[in-house]
Every structure is written in structure tokens, then in C-alpha cells.
A and B are shown apart, each in its own frame.
Chain A
């Protein structure tokens, strides 16, 4: 409500000093402590990471330098950031929508995998007979439905049996991982003598790339999804009602809102977005299912959503940052001889700083 005070300026009131420069300056002053907190939080995370890395005999300055140059100085690695960012952003949006209704979707990991499994099932069955564009469309539909279905299981357990969705979505991650492994170790395995994996998706059915950049169109899908969601959550009745349910379900119920339907829709949309992320990773990057497919996209997406405070457009920035860190992690392995998973420390510290020290308090636990 207070947000309207600034915009609905009383026309009778004197124009005061309401020039845009002074407004900007005041906004800047108000944001200053905020920016300071963020800067301190990030600096703290980097400092702790440096100390830990130096325990292993690596010079932190060199480590950051190598990561920076190898991540941002080559156009190929910049493209790589956008390629990794696309599924991460979608997986983060899969957390954003349920969070708006006060629910916690920890199941992005599994929803990404079932999305990819559905896309692979449809894609590998049709890519020899149908034109590539049609196959892509069918794969996207299958992935969206599969992701929504997977989240729908958790929604059902929540709405009918009153089981907390954070716990069920988490458990479903392991079910979907076993489903993936089951399929690629036997029924969908290309050859019993080679590594367990499906055959490759036909080239025509793979995601097209943006003119000569080598970056597939997934990033465009992710950006569109973020903008559409920002509008849907901020400007539609559905988005408004979700926010009411998330803020105070009892009030929403008394106001006659269909709380069950709203909660269900939030989780289904979330699952659908994560499913789409799985399809994009499959048709754009991996092109075959193998063990370890899509590992951590869901969990990192979860972290990205919290970094962005569950806001769709900032999610793009958070996903970009985490994708850049992931690309930098490869340099960690190549240049500094540290395991790539070491980057998880920095990711975790950043999130902890944001969760605990940037004035973002949902409800005190």
C-alpha cells in the first residue's frame, strides 16, 4: 500500500522539490545502507572462501584472477554462462511461484529430471519421423506436463493428506533420479556394451542457436518466462491472490478465495517451469540422457530464487551470477587444481550472507 503513496501524488500539492534528480538522490540515500549490507555480505563470503582455499595451498588472489579471466575474457565462456543460466533461471522461477503462495518447492531437481525424461521419451520416439520444429514443440509440452505432474504429486499430498511440500518435493527428487537411472541402465540404453546413456537426439530436433553465438535459444525462453511471470504475479488477479494466500491464508479463506486451487496452481506452474528447464537442458546441451544429467540444476535454482528474494526479474541476475560461478568453477579445477565442487562453498556463503545479513526476514523462525 505504501508504494502507492509515491506515485499517486496529489495534483493540488505544490511540486515541492520533486524533480527526478532529487528523487533519485533520495532513493539512492535510502538504498545506501542496503547496498552497504550487500557489499559487506559478499565481501565476507569472498574473504572466508579465500581463507579456506589458502588452507589448501592455493593463492586466493590467483584463484579469483584465474576465475575472472577465464570466465569473462573469452567470448566462448560468456556464451557458456548464458547456456548454463537458462535452466537455472527456469528452475529458480519454479521456486518463485510456489513461494509467492507461501510454499517451498525443494523439488526442482526432480522436476527438471522428469521434464528431461519426458522430453527424451517423446523426442527420441519422434525425431526420425517428424520435422525438428514439431519435435521440439512436442518435447516442450511433454516436459511441462511431466514437471507439473511431478509437482502435482507433492501438491496432492499437501492438499489431501496435509504432508508438508518441502519434505515431499525433496523425497521425490530421489524417486526421479532412480527413474532416470532405471531407464538409461536398461530400457532406453543405446548399447549394453557402452556407457549407460540413451542415443543422441537428432540434430534437427535440438534447440536452435542464436545466430553464430553458439548460445541456444533457452536463454530467450528463460527471459520471456521471467518477464511473463513478473507481470502475472504483479499485475493479475491470480498473482495478487497468491500473494494474499502466502501472506495470510486465513484471511484469504475468509475473503472467499479458492485457497486450495491457488496453492495447487502455484505448485503446478512451478513444476511446469522446472520441467521446461529439463527439456532445455536435454535438447540444448546434453542431447542424450546419461547418469548425472542435470545434476544440481534444481538445487542451485532454489538458491538462486532465495538470492533474488523470490522476484522473477532479479532471478535472472541471480541465475547469471551462479552460472558465472559454475563456469568459473571449471577454471578452479583446471588452473588451480582444486575440485570444481569447491565453488559450492562460495555459493553457500553468498546465500548465507543474504539469508542472515541483508535484512531479509520473512518470519522469525
Chain B
């Protein structure tokens, strides 16, 4: 039993960075833009947060900086894709390389620096609930923030005018044009907001989870987030479940090793990636039919035989 609680707790903690990035990517993809630069936005967010936390001693300023860095990087993707008509996949990877370069240039001085990081805070009463208490209510503030942010994003996307505009940009962009809205502006907004959340995700990783900075520390979490959005069928709420599943798969290795199981860590580390591939295959046709129509055009530049 204790191992299940450990893995689930680790899943929430380790999945939170992916959750933020996945929710941001949902917003972006709902407007019709896929952003592989999410990985880069997370990287930029992780460093900016770390630098600000180290220099100011205030982790919340770190989160702010991380969000801004993530948004700036994704807006580069936005300009290339939305304004200049560049290929979405190529532009995303270019943004990742930009982030890799920038963070290694400006991050070298911060490797090994100590920072004031976020601390765990057990919520009174709630954290005493058996099983659920330790899994959900004994975490750092950014985890709690995600409990609020993700439903809010869902609400904005599906119950407000701005959300309607974003979804229309992804489903039937002509309809926006007809009503006098600029599709490009709506998409720029969605992509930038997406990067903002990815930046917060990166910040969680560097100043709440690992409490360190090193080159390329995101290690594929941004790409996982992109895949996650697809298998969550572009729903922010399902991204919750997916992100924690990934986090749990990542937490399984350390939990087993702590109990003396000598398993090659890479056999466990591969699980989330294989899991994603399997889920994508199983849900393949169903998810793709749920995709925003404009995004489908990006995906299906050459659809297979029917």
C-alpha cells in the first residue's frame, strides 16, 4: 500500500510540470497551432525562474519570470508560424534550439547555485484524509495552484467569449474572419498563453521539484506534454489524468529502488514514452476525429487510404 501512495504522490509532484505545459499546449492547439517549442519554453521558464529565485530570494518572482520567459519564447514560434507561415514542426524545433542555446549561455553561471525554493505545505485537515491526503494535499504551492488553474483554463476555453474565439480559430477560422476578428491575433494570443503555462511548468521543475538548474534539464517533458494533449483529446481536464500518469511512471523507478528492487532504471524510464505510443495507437482514430479541424490540416498533410 505504501508503495502505491508513494508512486501516486510522486505522480502528482512529478506530473505537475507536465500538467502546466500540457494545459498551455491545449490552449495553443485549440487555436490550431501545435508547438514543439513547448520543450524550449519549459527550459527557458526553468532557467528564468531559477535565476530570479537565486537573485531575489523570492520563488514567486521566479514563477513570474518563468512565465514571462516561456511566453516570450513561444511568441517567437507564434510570429514564425502565424505571421510568417513557417512550418509548425520545424519552427517548434528551432525555438527549442534557441532555448537550448540561450539557457546554456545564460545558465552556466547558475549551475550549482543554491536558491530559496518552494517548500511543501501540508494543508490542515485535508492532508489528514487517509490515502488522498498525502497524495493530493502535502505539496508545494505550485501544485495547489495547478488545482485551480487547470479548471479555470477549462472554464475560459469552453464558457467564455475569449475561449470561443480561440476554439473557432482552431475549428473554422473563416467564421472569425467573417465576424471581423483577426485569426492571426487570436492564434498569437493562444500560442503566447500556451508558452506562459509551459514556462510555469519549467519553473515548477527547477524551483519546486529538483531545486537545481542544469543544461537541458527538461529532458523531453515538453514533448511528452505535446503528446499528452493529443491523447487527452484537447481537454484540459483529461490532461490532469494524463500528466499524473506520466508522473507516476517516472516515480515508479525511485519507489522500487528505495525498496531494494534492483531494476535497471532505464527500463522504467521508458514506460511513459511507450505508454504514450500505445495510448495514441489505441485511441488513434478516435482522438484524431476530436482534433480541432485546422490542426487536423497540419497533421494530415498526407492522410493514409481510408
Contacts and interface: CB of A to CB of B under 8 A. Distances in A.
A binds B: yes
Interface of A: 52-53, 55-56, 101-104, 106, 153, 157-164, 166-168, 170-175, 178-179, 181-182, 185-186, 245-246, 249, 253, 259-260, 263, 299, 302-303, 306, 338-349, 351-352, 355-357, 361-365
B302 A338 contact: no
A365 B129 CA distance: 49
A185 B266 contact: yes
Contacts of A103: 301-302
Nearest to A155: B304
30 contacts: A52-B102, A56-B106, A103-B301, A157-B281, A160-B281, A164-B299, A167-B226, A168-B280, A171-B277, A174-B223, A178-B267, A181-B266, A182-B264, A185-B265, A185-B266, A253-B305, A263-B304, A303-B90, A303-B97, A344-B97, A345-B97, A345-B98, A345-B101, A348-B95, A348-B101, A352-B76, A363-B297, A364-B85, A365-B32, A365-B81
B99 to A, nearest CB: 8
Contacts of B94: 303, 348, 351-352, 355
A202 B127 CA distance: 60
A163 B93 contact: no
Interface in B89-122: 89-91, 93-98, 100-102, 104-106, 108
Determine chain A's interface SS by DSSP, over half rule: helix
Contact of B97 (A163, A168, A171, A348): A348
Nearest to A305: B90
Contacts of B282: 161
Given A167-B280, A168-B277, A303-B93, A355 B84 contact: yes
Interface string B289-306: 000000001111111110
A365 B104 contact: no
Given A52-B105, A365-B87, A161 B284 contact: yes
A259 B304 CA distance: 7
Given A171-B273, A185-B264, A161 B85 contact: no
Q: Which of B80, B86, B224, B288 has the largest number of chain A CB atoms within 10 A?
A: B86
B125 interface: no
Interface residues of B, number: 62
A171 B281 CA distance: 13
B304 A174 contact: no
Interface in B171-222: 215, 220
Given A170-B223, A174-B270, A355-B87, A163 B102 contact: no
A365 B84 CA distance: 9
Nearest to B291: A164
Nearest to A170: B223
Contacts of B223: 170-171, 174
Nearest to A264: B304
Interface in B253-293: 264-267, 269-270, 273-274, 276-277, 280-282, 284-285, 288
Interface of B: 32-33, 36, 76, 79-91, 93-98, 100-102, 104-106, 108, 215, 220, 223-224, 226-227, 230, 264-267, 269-270, 273-274, 276-277, 280-282, 284-285, 288, 297-305
Contacts of B298: 365
Contact of B84 (A185, A186, A340, A357): A357
Contacts of B304: 158-159, 162, 259-260, 263
A172 B80 contact: no
A159 B300 CA distance: 11
A263 B302 contact: yes
A55 B303 CA distance: 47
Given A178-B270, A185-B264, A347 B101 contact: yes
Contact of B89 (A106, A163, A253): A106
Contacts of B230: 164, 167
Contacts of B288: 162-164
Given A158-B304, A161-B284, A245-B302, A356 B93 contact: no
Given A182-B264, A299-B97, A162 B104 contact: no
Given A153-B277, A339-B108, 5 more contacts: A163-B281, A178-B273, A259-B304, A352-B80, A365-B32
Contacts of A351: 90, 94, 97
Contacts of A361: 85
A344 B264 CA distance: 32
B84 A344 contact: no
Contacts of A344: 97-98, 100-101, 104
Q: Which of A163, A299, A343 has the largest number of chain B CB atoms within 10 A?
A: A163
Contacts of B102: 52, 345
A182 B104 contact: no
Contacts of B91: 352, 355-356
A55 B88 CA distance: 30
A145 to B, nearest CB: 21
Contacts of B301: 102-103, 246, 249, 363
B154 to A, nearest CB: 23
Contacts of B105: 52-53, 56, 338-339, 341-342, 345
B216 to A, nearest CB: 8
A103 B284 CA distance: 17
B284 A365 contact: no
